[in-house]
Structure 1
Amino acid sequence: MASAQENGNTSAHDHAANGAQERKPYDYGGNPLAHVRTDGSVALPAFGGDFQPGLYKRNRKLANPAPLGLSAFALTTFVLSLINVTTLNITEPNIVVAIAYGYGGLVQLLAGMWEVACGNTFGATALASYGGFWISFGIILTPGGFNIVNTLEGVTETGGMAMTPEKFTNSFALYLFGWFIFTFLLLICTLKSTVAFFSLFFTLDLAFLMLGLGYLYADAGTPKQSLITAGGAFGLAAALLAWYNALAGIADNTNSFFVIPVAHFPWSEKGREKRGKVDNSAERAAQDV
């Protein structure tokens, strides 16, 4: 008589035995940022989902969209932040409009939609939202049909002087403060992840705060430059950290001679394991399966 396994049927006992034997909670696949999902980790926290750069997942049916979204965010933020710190005496962000629409907006939004397909709520929310941020930022700065800035400042169709410049700066400050609050909510979800991942949202949150204050305390329609410069500095840090995390999601032992070093928070799962606070014995594995 053929066995149950030969007939393609497997008992619950067989599943439990096989699961206990194959369970490897920290099989990083050469990448220290990786966190393998198991039967005991159904929920996808920020550092465990696909937006966690470097997630090692066997038999992946879809490529990891996180590095693409992070790269789109990084480059657009990098260029805008260079302008905010008046690099090469450039102060007008007109060049950012094209990047905001094409790369930071469209590409990042698409990456967020692919995170939906991957089943990662955090990654989808973050990438799609910041893609929307860059598209809306481009809309605000686009002259002509939208005419947002001129309408708020009271500029006539003939191009007269702005009558109420403070209305735009105050409105733009509220816009930035809204993104500051949203980024803070995401920041909370990274407290059990890695230092690199947390630092990305921390510096980005400070950038939104500084820029919002810079526009709030504008003088006759001119943002306070010291605060704008501070926001640009934090924005540059966020851009570099986004590229850093993106590289961590791309580089592995199949295409690179090194992996990106990261630091785990001591209260995170990996940090507790290093301190002997997590039981990964075979008996514990058998209980969780």
Structure 2
Amino acid sequence: MQQLRNAQTINMSAELFEKLFLSRHDSISGTVDWRKSLGNPTPIALVGIVISLTPLSCDLMGLLGAGGNGAAGVATYYFFGGLLLLLAALLEWLMGNTFPSVVFAAYGAFFFSFGGTLTPSFAAFASYAPAGADPASGLRTQAFNASFGWILVWMCVLSLMFFICSLRTNIALVTIFFSLVGVFGTLAGAYFFLAANFDRNGSTAGTFVKAGGVCGFVASMATWWFLLSTLLDTVDFPIRLPLGDLSGWIEPGSARRGSMA
């Protein structure tokens, strides 16, 4: 009886320990309920976005002497923008959340790519430099600027697709994706101006870069709001920040198909 009253004296066989604590917690149907097994991965991705995009936006706007098109934040793009977003994308995929999984994977891959472009060992711009010249001279070539501009163009198109899909979610996401369309669109314009004539169009391209920074800052602030709202909800805080639900604004396709049946 004394052993039953004192939990420290209970002996447990290895077989019983494995059965209680090491076996898979499958549902009756034999599948794992990932929603109960894992936490909410969305804040992980949002942290990656705000710590990557906010400083980059300040660099593009040239605030307090910042500049260099975000070259100082290369490590941030790898570990916050790339790693955290791809990790969150995988977790969202495991939980069956297709849209956020695709979004996080796309922007995570972009931040990895952007960081790689700014890393000299990748030779992204050095490959365009004339033989024997400074590798940085490749940044002034038409081929590099036009090629990088096309990457931004198609990221703009992808962001536009995300924006259209977000019209059934909330105002915060709509603001983020609409602003990102502006970011990639204006930066693409800047690089195409540089490709046309680097020296003559430098001032115009700089204006486009600053405009991209403004759009990025708007997207960052909306993401900060989204992050705080999500974290408050995670800890069951009594105050909730509204995200502007739009789920009832557009009729779901399933409901429309059901009414036509």
Number of the residue aligned with 1:285: none
Answer with 192-201 or 120-129: which moved more: 192-201
Shift of 1:60: 3.0
> Are 2:125 and 2:136, in contact at CA under 8 Å, matched by a contact in 1?
no
1:223-273: CA deviation from partner (whole Å, max 9, x where unpaired) = 7111110100000111111121122222128442310123234xx32799x
Name the structure 1 match of 2:182: 206
| 1:113 counterpart = 2:62 | no
Matched residue of 2:40: which SS?
Answer: coil
Tell me the equivalent position of 1:228: 209
SS of equivalent to 2:36: coil
Instruction: Provide the aligned length of Structure 1 versus Structure 2.
Output: 212
Structure 2 counterpart of 1:123, which letter? P
- The Cα shift of 1:162 comes to 3.2
Give me the CA root mean square deviation.
2.4
1:96 matches 2:77? no
Structure 2 partner of 1:62? 38
Q: Give secondary structure in 1 for the equivalent of 2:120.
A: coil
**Could you tell me which amino acid in structure 2 is paired with residue 269 of structure 1?**
G
Verify the 8 A CA contact 1:155 1:161 in the aligned structure 2: no
Once the two structures are superposed, the pairs formed by residues 17-166 of structure 1 within 5 Å of their partners are 60-92=36-68, 93-144=70-121, 146-152=122-128, 154-157=129-132, 159=134, 162=137, 165-166=141-142
Q: Looking at both structures, which has the greater relative contact order when contacts are Cα pairs under 8 Å and sequence separation is at least 6?
A: 1
Contact 2:168 2:249 in 1 (8 A): no
Q: Pick one of 269, 277, 288 that aligns with 2:248.
A: 269
Distance 2:244 2:84 in 1: 29
Partner amino acid for 1:112? A
Asked whether 1:252 is paired with 2:233, we answer yes
Q: Contact 1:253/1:259 (CA < 8 Å) preserved in 2?
A: no
- Aligned-pair distance for 1:113? 0.5
Q: Deviations over 1:75-107 (max 9, x none)?
A: 101111110001122221221211011111011
Label 1:158 to 1:165 Cα distance change in 2 as closer, same or farther (>3 A): closer
Q: Which of residues 182, 189, 200 is equivalent to 2:165? A: 189
* 8 Å Cα contact 1:150/1:156 also seen in 2: no
Q: Deviations over 1:17-41 (max 9, x none)?
A: xxxxxxxxxxxxxxxxxxxxxxxxx
Letter in 1 for 2:49: F
- Which secondary structure state, in structure 2, belongs to the residue aligned with residue 106 of structure 1? helix
Structure-1-length-normalised TM-score: 0.67
Q: Percent identity?
A: 27
TM-score (norm 2): 0.74
State how far apart, in whole Å, the 2-side matches of 1:117 and 1:208 are. 29
Which residue of structure 1 aligns with residue 29 of structure 2? Answer: none
Paired position in structure 2 for 1:52: none
Which protein has the bigger helix share? 2
